[in-house]
Amino acid sequence: MKNSPEILFFDDFTDPHLNRNFWNTQITGEIFNQELQAYVDSPETISISQEEPHSRGVLVLQAHYRPGFRTPQGTALDFISGRIHTRKKVTFRYARVSARLKLPLLPGAWSAFWALGADGAWPACGEIDIMEAVGEADWVSAAAHGPNYSGEAGLVNKKYFPSSHSLADWHIYTAECAPDSLTFFVDDELIYRITRPMVTFFGDWAFDSEKYLILNLALGGTYPFKTNGIKAPYYGLPAESLQFLQRQPIRFLADWVKITSL
């Protein structure tokens, strides 16, 4: 009989503040993917809230309109947001990685739950996108990137929600990272499987090393732009989304994050 999976890591955000033994916060340096936001370590952008019903605590990553905000390097950006990761604190090699998430329903809001190889430069380190969304109600995507299958050449698939659901509802997003496959689920529904032969057709399999987790909320940038084609008022962020953000922030919520053995 197969043993029950072992819980290797679990955070349900019941502490009043982000647990810095598990999580690092990102502060924007170099800008990637033509994104519009600066990542800052602030209660405005990263906090724990007890306001969600039936929950003892949720992580809140919040994006705000802040025209003229300057990064430590002097780059001017008009938005701020939050990004956290577990590099050098919580890593895994082969495991089942899950999170219960609620995403902002706003075109151009680029939410992501993903993993990067802990060593080496991208894309050779390997990237596993357990969940990405750009604020459209009816879909999320899963993907993998590595040498010769990165960026627009990445292996990617979408999960489309029925009309009774959307990404603004709570869903559990999962990736099973095995020696010869990456398998993706939404609410335990299989949505995509990437096998070692699928990857090595293009380049080296990049997923045998230690990996760490990332949660972030970006605005605009390449992935939203290639979906909506919006160039103005901001790259990948339409006017109606800007108008909303000028009135109030948007939030990406995490109820829990878990890593278990396969």
pLDDT at 2: 67
Q: What domains can you pick out in the chain, each with its CATH number?
A: 7-260 (2.60.120.200)
Give pairs for 222-228: CB < 8 Å, separation 24+. Answer: 222/33, 222/34, 223/33, 223/110, 223/132, 223/134, 224/107, 224/108, 224/109, 224/110, 224/134, 224/135, 225/34, 226/152, 227/134, 227/136, 228/107, 228/108, 228/134
Strand partners, 104: none
Give pLDDT tens digits for 16-63: 999 999 999 999 988 999 999 999 999 999 999 988 777 789 999 999
Please compute Rg for the chain using Cα positions: 18
Judged against a pLDDT cut of 70, whether residue 1 lies above it is answered with no
- The answer to whether the CB of 47 falls within 8 A of the CB of 5 is no
